[in-house]
Amino acid sequence: MKLVGKVALVTGAASGIGKAIATTLAKEGAAVVVADLNLDAARAVVKEIEAGGGKGLALVMDVTSESAVEAGMQQTVDTLGSIDILVSNAGIQIVNPIVEFKYEDWKKMLAIHLDGAFLTTKAALKHMIASKRGGTVIYTGSVHSHEASPFKSAYVTAKHGLLGLARVLAKEGAEHGVRSHVVCPGFVRTPLVEKQIPEQAKEFGISEEEVVKKVMLGKTVDGEFTTLDDVAQTVLFLAAFGTAALTGQSFVVSHGWFMQ
């Protein structure tokens, strides 16, 4: 049990990667706040955590709302005593060529991925500094934090932006014992990716099977999707790491799709 006595808040934790991270951190002894837009699904994840003997708290949190983020972070500290690990993970995907990309969609993407990362970081950092306990902030980036793909202008822009925020946080947080990391998965078979398969088939004019084989997994070394556990174990490793040796860095978890 590597995280006994720690409190973690994971955004977008009602589904997919966030859910896997939340349950993995809970298994290692952290009390985990499952923060999401979808309260019923967040409650179901907490039930799963509790069934495994862990401690969890479900929270409705829209990461694009400053007041909701501040309130959720305060509730976390009031209920569980501290905030030691923030996993800023909530995200969506909208795929379209630039010339057809609606400005509204661009703003929505940047709001969830970048405003959400900034607002949750700011809110958590205040408590991490005040408590003098320090902490770790982990962003769910993507291979698209390092690499571009057609039709993903807003996503690629936002995921690259997280690298900048993490690097600044590494420098500002150091004197307070706060560290930052970006975990960058390749394609993981979650609802976010399932939705893209038919969309990309249409954009590229190829079959769904070809999207999976060529577009998503074509550059991996083994033709395999990155798994939820691949990502969750990397987050756990970083959350439990004892020094600032790895702060400010990104870690690509992609079965060799992208090597830095």
The nearest distance, CB 176 to ligand NAI, in angstroms, is 26
Q: Which is nearer to ligand NAI, 111 or 244 (CB)?
A: 111
Contact, 164 vs 187, CB < 8 A? Answer: no
The nearest distance, CB 68 to ligand NAI, in angstroms, is 8
Contact, 203 vs 220, CB < 8 A? Answer: no
130, 136, 141, 147: CA torsion to nearest 10: 110
Give the DSSP letter string of 63-107: TT-HHHHHHHHHHHHHHHS---EEEE-------B-GGG--HHHHH
Residues with Cβ within 8 Å of residue 62, at least 6 apart in sequence: 37, 68, 69
Q: Which is nearer to ligand NAI, 133 or 182 (CB)?
A: 182
Q: Which residues are catalytic?
A: 155
Contact, 219 vs 257, CB < 8 A? Answer: yes
Q: Which is nearer to ligand NAI, 45 or 133 (CB)?
A: 45
The nearest distance, CB 213 to ligand NAI, in angstroms, is 15
* Contacts with ligand NAI, residue ranges (CB under 6 A): 11-12, 14-18, 36-38, 61-64, 89-92, 112, 140, 142, 185, 187-188, 190-193
The nearest distance, CB 167 to ligand NAI, in angstroms, is 18
Q: Which is nearer to ligand NAI, 125 or 228 (CB)?
A: 228
